[in-house]
Structure 1
Amino acid sequence: ISMRSLEERTLKFSLYDVDRHKKHNVIGHVLYHLRDLELAKDGRTIFKRDLEKEVNEVHSVVKVTMSHQNKPVKTKKTGVVKRSRDPAYNESFSFKLEADKLSTTSIAVVVMKYEPPPKADKLIGRVVLGSYMFARGKELEHWNEMTANQKEQIQQSHALTT
């Protein structure tokens, strides 16, 4: 990362409480602007900050799009989750697909910051599931597990990319 790019970035450390139902509840955050970074001779730095409550609550929505040969075929959208930095979506979607089209189909899961019309929703992050043509690593493994167990609900967590 260039120094200029580094100076424009901020690290956000989040502290969570995980309850017995494995639900993650945000306790607070600490922001550290990398422009303030001063490394010691050993390459380490120690800093102390008070934990802050989250104040920037957003409304988000998830769009799930099935594409065949990179052309969107069907899009479904969750309801809007209001006033949450860590929204949970308890919705499921089903898509019908012929077996011979599995290798040329992908599913994009896109998390958006909801903006009321006429504004456009803003991208927070996305993940694409599909065959080797569209996905790698965990996303490809998830796709393979879903296609091998078509009558079962397969859940996995994925990191979003922008």
Structure 2
Amino acid sequence: MLVLAVGLPVALLHALLLCCMFLRAPASPDEIPFTVPPRFEHRRSGGLHGEGQVRSEESEVDGQRDISAHRGSFSVRSWYPVGSLLEGLYCAPILDEVVAPPPGMAARLCFAVEYRRSCEQLMVSLLRLGNLPPRFHGNVTLVELWLLPDDRRPRQAKARGTGHDPEFTDYFVFQVSAVCVSESTLSVCVLSVERKGKHHVVGRVLFPLEGQLGQSGRVLWRDLERDTYTQCSELGDVQVSLNYNPSLQRLTLVVLRARGLQLLSDTGLFSQVSLQIHTQVVKTKRSSMVKCEAEPYFNHRMTFKLKPRQLDEACVRLELKQPHPRCPESAAVLGVVVLGPFMYARGPQLQHWMDMVNTPCTQELLEQWHGLGRGI
């Protein structure tokens, strides 16, 4: 090589030397990064007969698999098992077989509650209503859900159909911590809506979550409670109607009647209502004196001027008073009820106020009984 290279140009000589270096030190296979992708080993059942033919067929098929495997996931054929669909998971069972209503004629709500501690979420599934009263069969059925005492706006669901047992396919997620979930109460209000838009309260379900999350996900049936529930306060109850007209910016409160009062004398009694915005009392009105009876009947209407933006800042304080037997000029407070948003009220008082705010019909009065508390 060196003898032949005499007399050649210097550039050509350098090129020949480089070629000799590459020919003497070829690249080893270990220096080239190369991996074989895993593939499914196909096994055939059978004896030793025809073993050579089977191996030849498998080697030929393996070559086709390798080519297909490098074409992307869309070209993977049946020899790569990825599983199969279970048809039973996608067949919805008949609702009557899963949540058959218990015997009885009371209107009932079927639902399920589950709490996931890992993400601190309360899952509520609405399934169906049972034994809806006949006068509501032709109306649209709505359900409003609250998680008291924190919720300020309800979650709504609409039934899929009408009739005796309307069904739902809705579920709701409430974000609530594990510390507060046991102190919360799930409130469900069932409404029947006529074609003209008028709402009727069919009933309510108050479901305290304390001690009820041990068997999460089970199907629950609860009877709908009417507003005429039994006395819930040792001081007595008062029936109140609420209405708010946003176009007129007018809040209407009607004190209807009372029951179970702890009367001090037979000198009569009256009701006093105060409208309060934040800590300031804006207006105070009182009813006329009524007789002391087992269920005194007031039927006194009071109206207050209130702007829509003030609905989350205002409340009404209702007091039932009776002239003091020793000092007729002063009055003794028999009981107090505060109706308002989350800033002022909890439980049924908060729910009554929010029902009033969210009722689209401006002419409807929402009636409800409230237990009297002690004045502060």
**Which TM-score band applies after superposition, normalised by the shorter structure?**
0.5 to 0.7
Question: 1:72 corresponds to which residue?
Answer: 281
State the TM-score, normalized to the length of structure 2: 0.28
Unaligned residue ranges in structure 2 (runs of 5+)? 1-233, 235-256
The one-letter code sitting in structure 1 at the alignment partner of 2:271 is V
Counterpart-to-counterpart distance in 1, 2:295 and 2:355:
27
Residue 139 of structure 1 aligns to a residue whose secondary structure is helix
TM-aligned CA deviation for residue 71 of structure 1: 1.0
Please identify, of 151-160 and 82-91, the stretch whose mean Cα deviation from structure 2 is larger.
82-91
Gap change, CA 1:24 and 1:105, over 3 Å in 2? closer
The one-letter code sitting in structure 2 at the alignment partner of 1:72 is V
TM-aligned CA deviation for residue 115 of structure 1: 4.5
1:57–1:85 Cα contact (<8 Å) kept: no
Q: Cα RMSD over matched residues?
A: 3.0
Question: 2:329 corresponds to which residue?
Answer: 119
Residue in structure 1 matching 2:367, options 155, 158, 162: 155
Gap change, CA 1:25 and 1:109, over 3 Å in 2? closer
Question: 1:144 corresponds to which residue?
Answer: 354
Are residue 92 (structure 1) and residue 301 (structure 2) matched? Answer: yes
1:64–1:109 Cα contact (<8 Å) kept: yes
Gap change, CA 1:24 and 1:138, over 3 Å in 2? closer
Residue 142 of structure 1 aligns to a residue whose secondary structure is helix
Counterpart-to-counterpart distance in 1, 2:316 and 2:348:
14
TM-aligned CA deviation for residue 112 of structure 1: 0.4
Counterpart-to-counterpart distance in 2, 1:73 and 1:86:
30
Question: 1:104 corresponds to which residue?
Answer: 313
Counterpart-to-counterpart distance in 2, 1:70 and 1:83:
33
State the TM-score, normalized to the length of structure 1: 0.61
1:113–1:121 Cα contact (<8 Å) kept: yes
Decide which structure has the larger Cα Rg and report it: 2
Counterpart-to-counterpart distance in 2, 1:97 and 1:25:
30
Counterpart-to-counterpart distance in 1, 2:318 and 2:290:
16
Counterpart-to-counterpart distance in 2, 1:25 and 1:119:
25
Unaligned residue ranges in structure 1 (runs of 5+)? 1-11, 13-22, 27-53
Gap change, CA 1:128 and 1:77, over 3 Å in 2? same
Residue 147 of structure 1 aligns to a residue whose secondary structure is helix
1:126–1:160 Cα contact (<8 Å) kept: yes
2:269–2:290 Cα contact (<8 Å) kept: yes
Counterpart-to-counterpart distance in 1, 2:338 and 2:292:
26
Gap change, CA 1:78 and 1:101, over 3 Å in 2? same
**Higher RCO (C-alpha under 8 Å, 6+ residues apart):** 1
2:341–2:350 Cα contact (<8 Å) kept: yes
Are residue 130 (structure 1) and residue 340 (structure 2) matched? Answer: yes
Structure 1 stretches of 4+ with a deviation exceeding 2 A read 23-26, 82-86, 114-119
- Count of aligned residue pairs for this structure pair: 114
Percent identical = 28
The one-letter code sitting in structure 2 at the alignment partner of 1:94 is T
Counterpart-to-counterpart distance in 2, 1:68 and 1:25:
29
